[in-house]
Chain A
């Protein structure tokens, strides 16, 4: 039983690097990244031309490595000059002021500091994605994947059940939210005329997402209630059956488009919307797993009988966990539907399940960091390896097998994610002010 969190020593950086960057707070890094993306905005195109690239390398030159290796040195130079140089310079130079600012921010309260950091992070992401619509799309899908992975991690990692039903929750959310927006704001062949004027749409879109999420939670009851008695592998089957049932149901409902799917969702899921929901989801889910309720999930995973004896209400805990995780999977599904602007039942099959499981276990069980890392790395890898065509599907599985063999619980398993710790200043004089 590997219940005790693994304690992984911080990587021993070379001492000189430690002296320069050891006290660099997260804020300075963000500022460095901001400088890098601003530089890219100003000079990216020109510099790319200078090093012989026809365009700004879209995913840090990874794609160029695969498709046109001859151009890779240019891409490398681009990454070094446009990204690394400003990042390191600005982060290094701003270490001291950033520490002061970070300390000042914390004085307004941890939530305020985190929000300022998030806003800055969004700015960086926005400017980075602004260069190309392809980047933006990749970022959107990646953010949605983060939400999905984390919500699956709640069940498979924190609670320790092997749930296969997540694509089903996602489907419920996607169809719920799409039905909401299509009926209310869009003239379409499925639901007829729009009921409300279109300008309300973006403002009421969150309601649609919540509606989708609640629908998914309702579906989760179908699994949560059997889970009181049925556990482990048998619950895995119930959840798999649930997935098949949802898919079959959607195929058989002609007013939802049947196998032909549902298209024409309005374009409400811009980058800010997706980012805001993802940030909110990660925040709330992180608070959840760090709360008593979340800790009781771990207790149930490690020993249900003991947890029960220690006054954990297992039924209540399980039901909340399933419904909560399903809610976020549903929200992710709703966002997914509005980014794709088309959904069909086949999208939510076992293939998606395999994808989601891979992200959870690659990143790491029982860990918010892990889910973020798993979703981001597999998504970016999936895009960057496009030029490999067929071999992409040999390379990625091999990588995953290696990760599983050398780190069986995933890359960053059993880590606590503490946003306040992340944003605190890192020098000695201002540390007193931090909690």
Chain B
């Protein structure tokens, strides 16, 4: 039984990343109906920005310029990286997506893919091929709860991820901007005629999605402190799976699908030989989609790629 609960804990942590990244992906996907294939790489850049900020702050603390405790550095790192990554997201929207708003959706997906490659290569060029390690800002404390091993980092990661999901949910459901976004998701042809600027909404969507990617990036680097320029690729594709599995027009669905993906991966590895993990995990997803052809929370629709 402890074995099972240990895996629940593992899956919660793993699912949190998928959920957070899928959330950012789904913002763009649900509201603007675009595949944001650059998202995985924005996540990577977010992690690297977090790395830069944290290293800088740690060095300043060590140098005695300003002495900050670890948790404060962490909060500052998250906030600064969110801001900078949001700027990057807006930039990506401006150059890569806005010119293609009326183009086939798949073309915008290609632009996203290409922006992703540029971000990876640019990073490789700027920082070299060495992998960097994220400074450890808080000491790991291990708790043993009836045989299930928890660490303070795991708990923090899950809680922070949940907090951001809740905040986003409240924002989308209960603020004026959130309403505008939902309206845009409902019909992006008519809503702009009602005086809602699609450019503002698009920019904002990308900013929020990218900020969430930065949060995910930093949490990720706390749990897995080895960063490399290509770390975002796999996450990009998995977030794509989670966002769509959640269902079009359902941001929270994406978060749930992210958790589901995490649980599937962890539990398949638990129950079957782990060599077959991808095989079984993706077969499950395929079967789910065959029986729920519109994802979990998506509305049935007949429109296809806008070609």
Contacts and interface: CB of A to CB of B under 8 A. Distances in A.
B130 interface: no
A365 B275 contact: no
Interface of A: 1-3, 156, 160-162, 222, 226, 229-234, 236-238, 240-242, 244-245, 247-249, 251-252, 301-302, 304-305, 350, 354, 357-358, 361-362, 365, 390-391, 393-394, 396-398, 400-401, 404-405, 408-410
Contacts of B289: 226, 230, 234, 237-238, 241
Contacts of A245: 278-279, 282-283, 286
Given A241-B283, A409-B107, 14 more contacts: A160-B307, A222-B286, A226-B293, A231-B302, A241-B241, A241-B286, A302-B307, A350-B237, A365-B106, A393-B120, A394-B118, A397-B121, A401-B96, A404-B111
A409 B305 CA distance: 13
A354 B40 CA distance: 14
A247 B279 CA distance: 8
Interface residues on B, range: 35 or more
B142 to A, nearest CB: 33
Nearest to A405: B99
Contacts of A252: 275-276, 279
A404 B101 CA distance: 11
Contacts of B278: 244-245, 247-248
B80 interface: no
Contacts of B124: 390
B244 A237 contact: yes
A393 B117 contact: yes
A1 B305 contact: no
A67 B64 CA distance: 49
Of B99, B118, B282, B307, most buried by chain A (CB within 10 Å of CB) is B307
B115 interface: yes
B294 to A, nearest CB: 6
Given A357-B113, A394-B121, A397-B114, A232 B107 contact: no
Q: Which 4 A-B pairs have the closest CB atoms?
A: A408-B103, A397-B114, A248-B278, A230-B293
Contact of B245 (A226, A237, A354, A365): A237
Given A241-B285, A394-B118, A233 B104 contact: no
Q: Is the interface of A mostly helix, strand, loop or mixed?
A: helix
A365 B305 CA distance: 13
26 contacts: A160-B305, A162-B105, A162-B106, A162-B305, A231-B293, A231-B302, A234-B244, A234-B298, A237-B245, A237-B285, A238-B286, A238-B290, A240-B237, A240-B241, A241-B283, A301-B307, A350-B233, A358-B113, A365-B106, A397-B115, A400-B110, A400-B111, A401-B111, A404-B100, A404-B108, A404-B114
A406 to B, nearest CB: 8
Nearest to B306: A1
Interface of B: 29, 35, 95-96, 99-100, 102-111, 113-115, 117-118, 120-122, 124-125, 233, 237, 240-241, 244-245, 248, 275-279, 282-283, 285-286, 289-290, 293-295, 298, 301-307
Nearest to A225: B290
B294 A365 contact: no
B307 A232 contact: no
A237 B106 contact: no
Contacts of A365: 104, 106, 307
Contacts of A236: 244
A299 to B, nearest CB: 12
Nearest to B294: A234
Contacts of A2: 104, 307
B179 to A, nearest CB: 24
A39 B129 CA distance: 46
Contact of B107 (A3, A233, A408): A408
Contacts of A401: 95-96, 111, 114-115
B241 A237 contact: yes
B307 A3 contact: yes
B125 A404 contact: no
B40 to A, nearest CB: 10
A322 B75 CA distance: 50
